[in-house]
Amino acid sequence: MIKELHEFFKTCPLLEGSKINVDYLESKSGGFTIEAVPCEPVIRRYYTGGTLRQYCFVLALRRPYTGSVAENLKNEQLCEELADWVEECSSNGNLPKLSKGASAQELTVTSGGYLFDEATNHARYQIGFRLIYTKI
């Protein structure tokens, strides 16, 4: 699942030219990572043997952090634009292409971008997402 999400986010024009990692966020500004978060994977079981499932994850990003209002607004704006891009993709049916036997149904934002850690001059922001999909 994470591989397909990685490929999906590589198509985001807001991330063009950026390195997108999996389960690793660089300590310097400019990096992105996709990380799975715990959730109950099966939402519903069908009598045919298939299931409706969810995959919860965050897209985290490292941005400059100086305490400047202008800088922080810029960081929050990028988070909002990323969330908007995902919502637009989902409403247009542009969803991640999943492996054989699975089909994406919906990709939603579960938490808007927020400051997660500001311990250094490079803060971590993250946005929560949930992918709903069927699996045979």
The per-residue pLDDT string of the chain (136 residues; one tens digit each, 9 = 90 and over) reads 899 999 999 999 999 989 999 999 988 888 899 999 999 999 999 998 899 999 999 999 998 888 788 888 898 999 999 999 999 999 999 999 999 899 999 999 999 888 888 777 888 999 999 999 999 8
CATH number at residue 12: 3.30.2000.30
Q: What is the pTM of this model?
A: 0.91
| 3-class secondary structure, 12 | coil
Q: What is the pLDDT of residue 114?
A: 85
Tell me the C-alpha distance between 62 and 89, whole Å.
Answer: 23
Q: Which domain holds residue 68?
A: 2-135
User: Could you give the number of structural domains in the chain?
Assistant: 1
DSSP H or E stretch at residue 28: none
